[in-house]
Structure 1
Amino acid sequence: MTDYATLIDEETWAFIRKTQGSYPDDTTHFTIADQRRVYDAMCATFRRPHPPGVTATYRHFAGVPCRVYEVAPGTLTVMYFHGGGFVVGGLDSHDDVCAEICAATDHRVVSADYRLAPEHLHPAAFEDCRDATRAAHAAFGGRLLLAGDSAGANLAAAVAHDARGSGLPILGQVLIYGAFSEMIGTTGSYATHAEAPMLTRADVEFYRDIRMPAGKTAAGDPTAAPLADTDFSGLPPTFLLAAECDPLADDSPAYAERIAAAGGRAHCVIAPGLVHGFLRARHMSARAKAAFRQITDAVAALGRGEFPWPETR
């Protein structure tokens, strides 16, 4: 049994308790409408005002509703895909996260409101993210970065795999506690953190299954599970940040290792003592604040064309 009382500090426990106050542990047993209702309510309790100078406008790209964050005219666009298990979340759930990435880096951030399961099964979310990325580049020009958390990290990586050879100038990707595997294992982090606070292995199974059409799996489909790809060459430089206390923790280093083995550049950090969803804790946990700084620093470095990490791991 994993000793979360030792691994997780009091600030992070306070974040967990605040989350559970509006988003109970058993939400996967709720109706889809209720899952979205309580998730939106939970996100609202953490939402922060936009930093000074950040503007946010509503636009459509390839028919996908998006929110565009800017502090100044720029030549780089960060495409951000939100988490939520492909089922919950939207433009409001990650609004302040995107605004703060914009403020910290001075880069334009485009948040995509991709279609959600189960009303829209795979590949709908992937197609929305792919098409919005292409359309945003057509509108703004310049260079691109791909970023996302959880389900959104999966979608960002899927877009990166699909974009090879397309001519899209993707400088890099920043992937936060992502789910990349086609299979949910019974060893490693899937076993050690099967009952982790905030996300359990059973939750991962629910979200994996609900997005796929009947009789279909992610096996062999890198647009659903990037680790299912057989070719990891030609991918952009990649920074990954996973949470230690998360059943998905092993997916990020596995993905980094596959990129490195194919001759690419990838760096993975496992944030000690943090849990899935820690982005919302960045203003109440020193550990989460430090991890968020690593994320914005990575966006800034990749945007400059730099890869400042000494080794791939």
Structure 2
Amino acid sequence: MTQFDLDAGVRDFIKRTDSFSKGLGIDATTAEVREAYMRMCAAFALPHPKGLRARDGILHAEGPTRELRVRSFATPDAIPGRAVLFLHGGGFVVGGLDSHDSICADLAAGAEVAVIALDYRLSPEHAYPAALDDAEAAYDDLLDSHQHVILVGDSAGATLAAALSLRLRRKGKPMPWAQVLIYPMLHPDFRRAIGGPKEQAPLLPAASLSLYVGAYLGGKPTVTTDPEVAPLAAQDFAGMPPTAIFAADIDPLAEDAHDYCAALRDCGVPVTLHPGHGLVHGYLRGRAMSETVAEAFSVIVSRLRDFAHGGQP
């Protein structure tokens, strides 16, 4: 950790986050990893903003066993006709409605837009494409009741958001109004950061990416040509929605964000990139511990508000 330029708040955030994984060895079960992750998320949760309403519900999608659990967040002044579909991070293996509850609450209140968080199916019990299928089904359902839907995700959730946009284009479905991708995993070679300067970045060492993707792909190789697994495997990005990308520069996935921004720009897609100087993967939870994180979070809220109220990135 000392080799990276981190402010005191970010260092404290890393130390506190790491404390929840102490005692978990390489033989830890999925259930043990999930339990530790949820304890960590609960420790960083902030009270909901005043006036915000959170409500659990069910989306009834087509097909068997397709009741999708969601949690909606909105304030009385939320702009009508538009909604955010939020897809949580967690390497496709951990997380759910509670893990990102206060993050979604702050996004909804700050951007003045309804946020609907999806409890998609997790790996390894439900390998690809289960999570993406759930995201598509939720998007279809929301589009029935909202004029426009904005996709927002962090980490694996950002991967799902970018992959969903590609799937919607392939199927000729209505495209998202915009997408906001926070430290996304996008490159088809999930091992490419190994041996690089960010191989041992705090909170997400590069070697762990292959483990998460292996679980997501049912133990298949961790290099793919499927753009709905790794969006940067696509050959063409024309028609993608306006996009705001938020990287963490002390993160093995930082290069993915820069490459995706360049690919979208080359195809004429409106896009902005916030490089996340001094930030680490998972920084959203540290917004009350570090001014650097708080400033980055305020930019995320601002970009989302711009999209929700009709602006471009």
Q: TM-score, normalised by structure 1?
A: 0.92
Secondary structure (helix, strand or coil) at the match of 1:45 reads: helix
Once residues 117 and 192 of structure 2 are traced to their aligned partners in structure 1, the CA distance between those partners, rounded to angstroms, is: 34
Residue 129 of structure 2 is matched in structure 1 by 123
Once residues 12 and 273 of structure 2 are traced to their aligned partners in structure 1, the CA distance between those partners, rounded to angstroms, is: 27
Q: Determine whether 1:230 maps to 2:235.
A: yes
Equivalent residues in 2 for 1:279-294, closer than 5 Å: 279-294=284-299
Once residues 27 and 180 of structure 1 are traced to their aligned partners in structure 2, the CA distance between those partners, rounded to angstroms, is: 28
CA displacement 1:230-253 (0-9 Å, x = unmatched): 221100010001101100010001
Q: Determine whether 1:79 maps to 2:77.
A: no
Residue 311 of structure 1 is matched in structure 2 by none
Letter in 2 for 1:41: R
Secondary structure (helix, strand or coil) at the match of 2:218 reads: coil
Letter in 2 for 1:130: E
Letter in 2 for 1:3: Q
- Give the C-alpha shift of residue 210 in structure 1: 1.1
Secondary structure (helix, strand or coil) at the match of 1:181 reads: coil
Q: Determine whether 1:9 maps to 2:14.
A: no
Residue 309 of structure 2 is matched in structure 1 by 304
Residue 41 of structure 2 is matched in structure 1 by 43
Letter in 2 for 1:114: Y
- Give the C-alpha shift of residue 218 in structure 1: 5.6
- Shift in alpha-carbon separation, 1:238–1:245, aligned structure 2, 3 A: same
Q: TM-score, normalised by structure 2?
A: 0.92
Structure 2 unpaired stretches of 5+ = 62-66
* Cα contact 1:102–1:109 (8 A) shared by 2: yes
* Cα contact 1:218–1:225 (8 A) shared by 2: no
- Give the C-alpha shift of residue 26 in structure 1: 5.9
Root-mean-square deviation over aligned CA pairs? 1.9
Q: Give the number of equivalent residue pairs.
A: 304
- Shift in alpha-carbon separation, 1:218–1:133, aligned structure 2, 3 A: farther
Equivalent residues in 2 for 1:262-281, closer than 5 Å: 262-281=267-286
- Give the C-alpha shift of residue 186 in structure 1: 3.8
Letter in 2 for 1:68: S
* Cα contact 1:190–1:248 (8 A) shared by 2: no
Once residues 120 and 286 of structure 1 are traced to their aligned partners in structure 2, the CA distance between those partners, rounded to angstroms, is: 38
Equivalent residues in 2 for 1:50-69, closer than 5 Å: 50-61=48-59, 62=61, 63-69=67-73
Equivalent residues in 2 for 1:128-207, closer than 5 Å: 128-138=134-144, 140-164=145-169, 166-168=172-174, 170-186=176-192, 191-207=196-212
Question: Percent identity at matched positions?
Answer: 37
CA displacement 1:173-208 (0-9 Å, x = unmatched): 000001011102445x87111001100001111111
* Cα contact 2:199–2:206 (8 A) shared by 1: yes
Letter in 2 for 1:126: L
CA displacement 1:83-134 (0-9 Å, x = unmatched): 0000000000000000000000110000000000000000000110111111
- Which one of 93, 100, 104 corresponds to residue 106 of structure 2? 100
Residue 32 of structure 1 is matched in structure 2 by 30
* Cα contact 1:25–1:198 (8 A) shared by 2: no
- Give the C-alpha shift of residue 22 in structure 1: 1.4
Residue 246 of structure 2 is matched in structure 1 by 241
CA displacement 1:59-89 (0-9 Å, x = unmatched): 1222211001111252110010000000000
- Give the C-alpha shift of residue 222 in structure 1: 1.4
* Cα contact 1:134–1:168 (8 A) shared by 2: no
- Judge which range, 219-228 or 244-253, deviates more: 219-228
Secondary structure (helix, strand or coil) at the match of 2:196 reads: helix
